[in-house]
Amino acid sequence: MKTRREKGRIILDLVSNSDVIDHETYVADSGGLSLEYAAGETFSPVIPLVRLPMHVGETWNWTGVLKNDGGDQPATAEIRTEASKIDTGGDLNHGLEVVVLLDLKQPNGTENVRRKLQFWLVEGHGVVRRSFGDESQREPAGGAP
């Protein structure tokens, strides 16, 4: 994985055999850290993962649109935070787990589809692991929490 910064964004390039196979984009500013793009999906507005100031254990809500190859899908989410011990590739660190319970509105009026997005963050390392349920996961190089 390679990390680059561009205009307030942190872009994690996911690399295999020296080729970039995907990327994740986070927005970092004085208000915190937010998810903009991952696993082929763009979130508008960005989903706030860490708010500054913030206390571990806080929850908040988000309303927006998930954009992907299938089009735009209205969505809401509840974001929760909790303390966590995280393996960053051999070292156990105190960090933050962020759980996003994303509800996708269905166009035909049927029940919403719920997805669980999880992010593990460690100070000085950033987002070291993330999971979008069974659909997409990224583990730290050299170890898994």
Q: Checking DSSP bridges between strand 136-138 and strand 113-122, what pairing results, if any?
A: unpaired
Q: Is the pTM of this model over 0.85?
A: yes
Residue 142: the pLDDT is: 42
Q: Would 43 be classed as within a structural domain?
A: yes
Q: Would 92 be classed as within a structural domain?
A: yes
Check the CA dihedral 74-80-81-85 and report its sign.
negative
Q: Would 144 be classed as within a structural domain?
A: no
Q: Would 61 be classed as within a structural domain?
A: yes
Q: Would 145 be classed as within a structural domain?
A: no
Q: Would 27 be classed as within a structural domain?
A: yes
> Domain span at residue 27?
2-138
- CA distances, 116 to each of 83, 124, 137, 140 (Å): 18, 25, 12, 19
Q: Would 143 be classed as within a structural domain?
A: no
Beta bridge partners of 95: 84
Per-residue model confidence as pLDDT tens for the chain (145 residues):
788 899 989 998 888 788 887 889 999 999 999 999 998 899 999 999 999 999 999 999 999 999 999 889 999 999 999 999 987 777 788 999 999 999 999 878 788 899 999 999 998 888 888 888 766 777 655 433 3
Do the beta carbons of residue 127 and residue 24 sit within 8 Å? yes
- CA distances, 58 to each of 37, 40, 54, 81, 133 (Å): 23, 28, 7, 6, 22
Residue 143: the pLDDT is: 39
Other Cβ atoms within 10 Å of 39 Cβ, number: 16
Could you check whether the bond before residue 45 is cis, i.e. omega within 30 degrees of 0?
A: yes
Residue 145: the pLDDT is: 32
Give the number of domains in the chain.
1
| Residue whose token pair is 């942190």 | 10
Q: Would 58 be classed as within a structural domain?
A: yes
